[in-house]
Structure 1
C-alpha cells in the first residue's frame, strides 16, 4: 500500500510499505477513507523532532476490513472514527477519563501512521467508535476532524471552563484553536476572544463563534484581552500553540480563579514559578483524551449540529502530501485533507 514517510526534515515522501495485518487479537485493520495533515506533523517536518523514517498521520475515518478474534465492538464493514491515541479502554487511567495516557497505550503516528491507504489499529475496542450508519460523503471531513483537532479543541475548551456566562480567550488561530472556538460556543460561552492576524482565519473564527478578534500577541495581547474584559481577564483561556510566548499569553490573559486549557504540543516552555504562583489559576492540558468525547462529537456531527469539517481549506490526493506539508508550513493552508 501507499503511505507517507518523513524521510528527514522537510522531506515527506509517498512510498510503498507492507500492507497492515492483524498482529494481536485486539487489533483491527481499517481502510482509510480520509486522512489529513496536523499542525503537530510540522514539528518533525521542520526538524524540531526526530524525522527519520516516521510513518506520518494520526487522524482518520475509515471502514473496518479485518478484526482480531477478541474484538467485540466493531465488525468488518463498519464505518469508524478513532482517536489519535491508542487506548485499551480498561486501565485505571482510561476509566478515569484520560485514555490518551492509557497505561498500555501509544500514539498512532510514528509506527502506525494514517496518511496511508490502510492502517492497523491496536486495541480496537478502546480506540475506535463505530458509526450507527453509513455517513453521507459531505460529513466525512467533519468526522475526520473529530479524530483529533475537534476533540483536542473540545478538551481545551472544557479544561478552560467554557460555559454559560463565561468569556474564553483563544491563543492560536490554527485548526486546534479554531476548533476551540467552536467548542467554547457549543459549551455555551458568552464571549470568545481569539488572537489572529490572518483575514481567512479570522473569518473562520467568526463562523465558528468568535465574538472578538484581536491582532496582538504576547504582552500586547494580554493587555487587549484585559481591556475587553474590564481589566479582569478571561474566565478561561485555550492555549493551542505550544511556545513560551503562547503559554505566557494564555496565563496572562486569564483572571485569578480562572483556568487555562493547554493543548499546543510544548516546545521550549518553562513556566516562571513566581508568575504562576501569583496568577492564581488552574492549568490542565496535554494530549487530549479525544476518545472520551468521540461519541458526543459524532452525534453532533451526524445530526449536523456542527460542521468542523469547514476547517479543511485544501484537499489533495495522498500522492501530493508533500504539497500539503508545504502549504501548512507556509501558513497558506489552515488544514489539508488527504484522500488515499
Structure 2
C-alpha cells in the first residue's frame, strides 16, 4: 500500500510500504477515507534530522473497517469509524479516569506503526480506540467530524482547562486550527466575549465567524497590554494557549485576570518554563496538557452532526495521497491553514 513517509526536515515522500495487517487479536485494519495534516506535524517537518528509514506520519483519520481480530467486539467489518490521535485500550484504570491519552497500553500513530496519511492503518486496541460513526462514507459532514480526531477536541480541552463558563471573557493565543477550534469551543460553553490573538487575516476572519469579537495582532508585552485594555485593565477570565512556546505560555499567564485560568494545549516546543511567581499572587490556575480526544469526542459528536459545532472551515485545501508533500509545503508556507487528505 502507499503511505506518506517523512525522511527529514522538508522531505515528505509517498512510498510503497507493507500492507496494514492484523497482528494482535485486539487489532482492526481500517481503510482510510479522510485524513489530515496537523500543525503539530509541521514541527517535525521543520526540524527532523535526516533519516534513511523515514517515519510514517499522520494521526487524524476516518475510515472503513476492513478486518477485525478475534477479540474485537465493538466494531465490525464495514463500519465507518473515527480514530483519535492516540490509541488506547479503553478499559484500564487511567482510561476509566477519563484520560485515554495517557493509557499505559496505548500509543501514537506513525513512527514504526502505520500513520493516518496512508491507504490503510492497523489499529491496536480497536475496541478502546475506534468510535463508530452513524454516517455513510460519502456524508458531506465528514470533514467536520474529522476535526474530532484532534483539533476540535484539543480546543475543547483548552476551554475546559481554562474554566470557560457562560458570561466569561476569553482570550485565545494562537490562530492555527487548534486556536480556531478553541474559539468554537469557548462559544459553545457560553463565553460572552472572545478575543483571538493572531495576525493572519484569513485566520482571524474565520475566528470571527466562529465567535470571536476582537482581534489582537500584537505579540509579547504589547499583546498582554492590549488584552488588559480590552478587559477593563483586569485581564481575561479564561486564556487558551494554543501555540506551544514558552513565550506564548508566559503571555497567556500574564493576560489572565486575578482568579482566572489558563488552559494550555500547544505542543511544547522550546522547553522554556515559567516562573510560578509570575502568577502565584494573582491566584491564576494553570491546567491542560494533551487532550483526551477519545473521551471528548462522544460528547461533541451530536453537536457536530447537528451543525451547531462545525470546524470544517479549518480545512481550506484538499489533496490526494500523492499530493501530501505539497500539502506540507502549503501549510509550512502559510498558504493553507489545514490540509484535508483524501486517499
The TM-score bracket by the shorter chain reads: over 0.9
Q: Is the 8 A contact 2:8 2:48 kept in 1?
A: no
Q: Is the 8 A contact 1:36 1:336 kept in 2?
A: yes
1:76 alignment counterpart: 77
In the TM superposition, residue 274 of structure 1 has moved relative to its aligned partner by 2.0
1:327 alignment counterpart: 330
Q: Is the 8 A contact 1:26 1:70 kept in 2?
A: yes
2:197 alignment counterpart: 195
In the TM superposition, residue 50 of structure 1 has moved relative to its aligned partner by 8.2
2:22 alignment counterpart: 22
1:109 alignment counterpart: 110
Name the CA shift for 1:150/1:49 in 2 (closer, same or farther; >3 Å). Answer: farther
**In structure 2, distance between residues paired with 1:74 and 1:224:** 50
Q: What does 1:87-236 align with in structure 2 at a 5 Å threshold?
A: 87-110=88-111, 111-134=113-136, 136-236=138-238
Q: Is the 8 A contact 2:172 2:179 kept in 1?
A: yes
Work out the number of aligned pairs and report it. 340
1:252 alignment counterpart: 254
What SS does the aligned partner of 1:62 have?
A: strand
Q: Does 1:300 align with 2:269?
A: no
Q: RMSD in angstroms over aligned alpha carbons?
A: 1.4
In the TM superposition, residue 25 of structure 1 has moved relative to its aligned partner by 1.1
What SS does the aligned partner of 1:313 have?
A: strand
TM-score (norm 1): 0.97
In the TM superposition, residue 143 of structure 1 has moved relative to its aligned partner by 1.2
**In structure 1, distance between residues paired with 2:274 and 2:49:** 21
What SS does the aligned partner of 1:114 have?
A: coil
Name the CA shift for 1:214/1:298 in 2 (closer, same or farther; >3 Å). Answer: same
**In structure 2, distance between residues paired with 1:279 and 1:47:** 37
Query: Unmatched 5+ residue regions in structure 1?
Result: none
Cα deviation code 1:155-186 (max 9, x no counterpart) = 11111111201111100000000000001111
In the TM superposition, residue 136 of structure 1 has moved relative to its aligned partner by 4.9
What SS does the aligned partner of 1:89 have?
A: coil
What SS does the aligned partner of 1:25 have?
A: coil
In the TM superposition, residue 135 of structure 1 has moved relative to its aligned partner by 5.6
Cα deviation code 1:47-84 (max 9, x no counterpart) = 15786611100000111111111111111111111210
Q: Does 1:263 align with 2:265?
A: yes
Runs of 4+ in 1 over 3 A off after TM superposition: 48-52
Q: Is the 8 A contact 2:163 2:261 kept in 1?
A: yes
What SS does the aligned partner of 1:288 have?
A: coil
Cα deviation code 1:267-326 (max 9, x no counterpart) = 122112321433421111221101111112222122222221111011111101111111
Query: Unmatched 5+ residue regions in structure 2?
Result: none
1:275 alignment counterpart: 278
- Which sits farther off after the overlay, 264-273 or 230-239? 264-273
Cα deviation code 1:191-240 (max 9, x no counterpart) = 11111111100111011111111111111111111111111111111111
Q: Does 1:2 align with 2:12?
A: no
2:58 alignment counterpart: 57
